């Protein structure tokens, strides 16, 4: 049984595709590609079909990570299909829960920063309207949170990561 992760932000062109691709990178390094899969989505439909933001891609490539994927909008079916849904900020968190009218999937929804090991941020800030430093910071923040998330999944699912 594959453990399915969904990363969610507002437009699905900056934070969530970065988290998805960073996580895929860590999963590959750990040899767990057959155990864990990732996807990302946005709570809005602003950028459907768009590639990740070029500024975000530049920040990721500095760390050896290529951002791939196309923006899509979060659907109610996503709540059913994924094991863990990771919101980048509290507004995204509320928007995800809004799709869950019956409250069936609330236990699957978590804030991404709750998995951070070294950073104390509560939310992943949206870098879209800021400078390049914001994009670089988001990559660092997500790298930390993704490492913690992978540790959590390996422990909770009893997976053996290659070291």
* Structure tokens given for 136: 């670089």
Query: Residues 132, 8: contact at Cβ < 8 Å?
Result: no
Q: Which residues are the active-site residues?
A: 9, 15, 126
Cα 161 to Cα 147: distance, rounded to the nearest angstrom: 12
Q: DSSP per residue over 119-163, as a string?
A: ---SS----TTS-HHHHHHHHHHHHHHHHHHHHHHHHHHT-----
Residues 6+ apart with CB under 8 A from 29: none
């Amino acid at each position: 049984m594959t453990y399915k992760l969904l990363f969610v932000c507002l437009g699905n062109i900056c934070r969530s595709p970065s988290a998805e691709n960073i996580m895929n990178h860590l999963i590959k390094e750990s040899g767990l590609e057959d155990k864990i899969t990732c996807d990302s989505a946005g709570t809005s439909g602003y950028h459907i079909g768009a590639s990740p933001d070029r500024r975000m891609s530049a920040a990721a490539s500095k760390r050896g990570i290529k951002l791939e994927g196309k923006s899509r909008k979060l659907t109610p079916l996503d709540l059913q299909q994924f094991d863990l849904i990771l919101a980048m900020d509290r507004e995204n968190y509320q928007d995800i829960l809004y799709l869950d009218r019956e409250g069936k999937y609330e236990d699957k929804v978590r804030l991404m920063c709750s998995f951070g090991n070294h950073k104390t941020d509560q939310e992943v800030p949206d870098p879209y309207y800021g400078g390049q430093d914001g994009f670089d910071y988001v990559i660092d923040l997500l790298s930390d949170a993704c490492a913690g998330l992978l540790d959590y999944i390996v422990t909770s699912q009893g997976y053996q990561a290659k070291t």
